Amino acid sequence: MSLEDLYARYLSLSPETREANIDAIWSDFAAIDQEANLPWLTEALRDADRRWFVVDGLVRSEHVHEDLFDPLMDSVMSIHDAGHVGYFVQPCIKGFGRRRVMTELLDLFRHGSDDDRVSASEAMYKVGSLIPGEFGEPPRPIDEIRDLRIEEARLYVRRYGRTQSVRLQQQIVGYLTDLTGRPMPVDVRVGAYLTIIRACLHADPWIRQRGRRWFRSRRRHR
């Protein structure tokens, strides 16, 4: 059976038949020769509808082909809904490990546009929050990417004052105010503190309130 036929079966499922048949579809997907089907998979990952089918199948497969790394990362970067980006991050982590995925996202944050940085930031949050060992990923120590999370924080501190994107500034402030209690180098803690001070004076109500709420919380815990 071709992937096109399998996708047609997937689309034909109704709410009444889905539960009884969906496992067989994923079993058939996991059995496909990914290398032989790379053109279909790559093209499907560019399609706004088919890519959901592909990521759902890949996260249930035993492996993810190396040549799907770039198309999968492109899909991650194209999702601008924070509630959905984790869904696309899952097969990336399963196939290539969170360290490689995080390294790629950091590079995209460094060299991309502000829109790219927003997408990369949302994805990095998911990479750091998904539980190690989920989705078939080999279990690894929780601090496997600690050095990369530190670099992420440094990039946020540097970028905050250089961007005019309120959406990106919101993400940066949201991340930095959540750093409390995490072990971070002195330069990161100081940079985060100064950034949050600036946030308290921001014209955007969400950013301003987030910064001020952080300082009120700090005073209560002294």
- State the residue range of the domain holding 168: 147-222
- Pair (177, 132) in one structural domain: no
Residue that is last in its domain, among 122, 144, 166: 144
The string of pLDDT tens digits covering residues 104-132 is 999 999 999 999 999 999 999 988 876 55
Q: Of 117, 144, 171, which one is at a domain's C-terminal end? A: 144
Give tens-digit pLDDT for 24-62.
999 999 999 999 999 999 999 999 999 999 999 999 999
Whole-structure pTM value: 0.89
The answer on 41 and 134 residing in a single domain is yes
CB under 8 A, 24+ apart: contacts of 134-138? 134/90, 134/93, 135/59, 135/90, 135/91, 135/93, 135/94, 136/59, 136/62, 136/94, 137/93, 137/94, 137/97, 137/98, 138/97
